[in-house]
């Protein structure tokens, strides 16, 4: 099969982004403290989430606010399967359907989590992809609320806001870097594929695309399910590293954070997703440090609790007002590099 010019450029761009991700991982491995390693790991998890968002939002131009729910489904499904029986009988003594009576290996658990999340994504996607505009946005928000309510109130399975503990630590920083690189290639490959090109064309002119024979609903469903699978990977990576999960991280705060990352970098490109994720991840750490009231050049700054939330809101507002397409706009990394040359 002969690759098109855009597909070749897509592979080049993915290689450039992969090199950057690997470089950050290598530098962190040798120079970062234990606390900093956890922060960087969290940034990579968020990157996978934002890339999952970009697959659907960036190509279909439909807003998705349910992404943290699919991340949670993947995390809980893998955690329930992989946690040792002895630990599950303590954490989930009243679990139905014998969920606390078996334990599987990490790979099998991850595959089951992907299958479950993919099935749920396909089921709800059949309805979501037929909607447009505000209706689609509200529907995805409803999915987030429904899934979170199940996590919260089915304490016999998910423990609610209490910690689900005892998950074996399977992943390391090396693991998440490899996973992030693979996801970058998958997302960029979809963007440059005929499916991705047609989906973006349908976002610009749905009526015209349909008249040309493009099955817009099918393309949206493919992107939606792929997005759900990528989000499940992020959830699995989250559970496999921390060893403890609860319902709280998979709700509005996380939706708001990752959406800000995608909007700031630019939802139309994979490069924008990577840029936005790391820029806001590292920027937030500086802001959280300022919240504590540090001493800078002999000046004792006051504590400003809640500053990080305010700054996230400002990022979204200012980006949407001053540059709605984000920092990168429609440009990918290879376009910037080749243009300079």
pLDDT of 18-57, one tens digit each?
A: 999 999 999 999 998 998 999 999 999 999 999 999 999 9
Q: Summarize the confidence of residues 235-264 as an average pLDDT.
A: 94
Res. 1 pLDDT band, cuts 50 70 90: low
- Confirm whether 137 is domain-assigned: yes
Q: Does residue 164 lie in a domain region?
A: yes
What is the distance between the alpha carbons of residues 311 and 317, in angstroms, rounded to a whole number?
A: 10
When pLDDT is averaged across residues 316-337 and rounded to a whole number, the result is 89
Residue 337: pLDDT band (50, 70, 90) is: confident
Is pLDDT at 173 greater than 90 in this prediction? yes
Residue 264 has pLDDT above 90, yes or no: yes
Report whether pLDDT(194) > 60. yes
Residue 256 lies in a domain: no
With 90 as the cut, is the pLDDT of residue 186 above it?
yes
> Does 159 score more than 60 pLDDT?
yes
pLDDT, average across residues 100-125? 96
How would residue 297 be classed by pLDDT, with cut points 50, 70 and 90?
Answer: confident
Report d(CA 30, CA 36) in Å as an integer: 11
Spatial CB neighbours of 49, under 8 Å, sequence gap ≥ 6: 67, 68, 71, 231, 234, 254, 258
Mean pLDDT of 159-169: 90
Range of the domain at 224: 5-250
The Cα–Cα gap between 38 and 104 comes to 26
Confidence check: pLDDT of 197 > 80:
yes
Gap between the Cα atoms of 268 and 60, Å rounded: 10
Whether 32 maps to a domain, the answer reads yes
Residue 108 lies in a domain: yes
On whether residue 47 sits in a domain, the answer given is yes
Answer for the pair 333, 271: CB distance below 8 angstroms, yes or no: yes
Cα–Cα distance, 105 to 306 (Å, whole number): 41
Name residues whose C-beta falls within 8 Å of residue 318's C-beta, 6 or more positions apart in sequence.
none
- Cα 235 → chain centroid: 9
Q: Is residue 58 part of a domain?
A: yes
- Does residue 340 carry a pLDDT above 70? no
pLDDT score recorded for residue 271: 96
Cβ-based neighbours of 13, under 8 Å, separated by 6 or more = 188, 270, 271, 332, 333, 334, 335
Whole-angstrom distance, CA of residue 168 vs CA of residue 105: 10
81 pLDDT more than 80: yes
Contacts of 221 (CB under 8 A, 6+ apart): 122, 125, 126, 129
61 located within any domain: yes
Question: E strands of 175-323, at which residues?
Answer: 295-296, 299-300
Q: What is the pLDDT of residue 102?
A: 92
Structure tokens at 77: 């499904």
Whether the pLDDT of residue 133 is over 70: the answer is yes
Q: What is the CATH number of the domain that holds 226?
A: 1.10.3470
- Report the domain count for the chain: 1
Asked whether the predicted pLDDT for residue 134 surpasses 70, the reply is: yes
What is the residue-averaged pLDDT of the chain?
A: 92
């Amino acid at each position: 099969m002969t690759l098109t010019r855009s597909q070749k450029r897509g592979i080049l761009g993915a290689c450039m982004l992969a090199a950057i991700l690997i470089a950050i991982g290598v530098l962190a491995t040798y120079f970062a403290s234990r606390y900093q390693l956890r922060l960087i790991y969290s940034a990579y998890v968020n990157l996978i989430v934002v890339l999952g968002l970009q697959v659907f939002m960036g190509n279909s131009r439909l807003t998705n606010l349910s992404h943290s729910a699919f991340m949670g489904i993947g995390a809980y499904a893998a955690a329930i399967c992989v946690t040792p029986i002895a630990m599950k009988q303590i954490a989930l003594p009243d679990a139905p359907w014998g969920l606390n009576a078996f334990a599987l290996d990490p790979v099998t658990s991850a595959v089951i989590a992907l299958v479950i999340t993919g099935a749920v994504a396909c089921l709800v996607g059949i309805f979501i992809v037929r909607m447009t505009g505000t209706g689609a946005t509200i529907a995805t928000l409803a999915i987030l609320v429904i899934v979170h309510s199940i996590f919260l109130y089915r304490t016999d399975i998910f423990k609610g806001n209490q910690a689900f503990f005892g998950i074996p630590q399977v992943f390391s920083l090396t693991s998440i870097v490899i996973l992030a690189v693979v996801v970058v290639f998958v997302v960029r490959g979809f963007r440059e594929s005929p499916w991705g090109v047609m989906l973006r064309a349908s976002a610009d002119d749905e009526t015209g695309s349909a008249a040309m024979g493009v099955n817009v609903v099918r393309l949206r469903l493919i992107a939606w399910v792929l997005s759900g699978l990528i989000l499940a990977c992020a959830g699995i990576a989250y559970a496999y590293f921390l060893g403890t999960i609860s319902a709280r991280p998979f709700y509005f705060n996380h939706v708001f954070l990752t959406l800000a990352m995608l909007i700031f970098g630019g939802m139309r490109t994979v490069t924008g997703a990577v840029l936005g994720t790391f820029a806001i991840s590292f920027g937030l750490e500086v802001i959280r440090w300022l919240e504590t009231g540090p001493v800078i050049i002999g000046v004792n700054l006051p504590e400003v609790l809640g500053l990080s939330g305010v700054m996230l809101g400002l990022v979204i507002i200012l980006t949407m007002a001053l540059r709605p397409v984000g920092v990168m706009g429609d440009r990918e990394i290879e376009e910037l590099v080749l243009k300079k040359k």
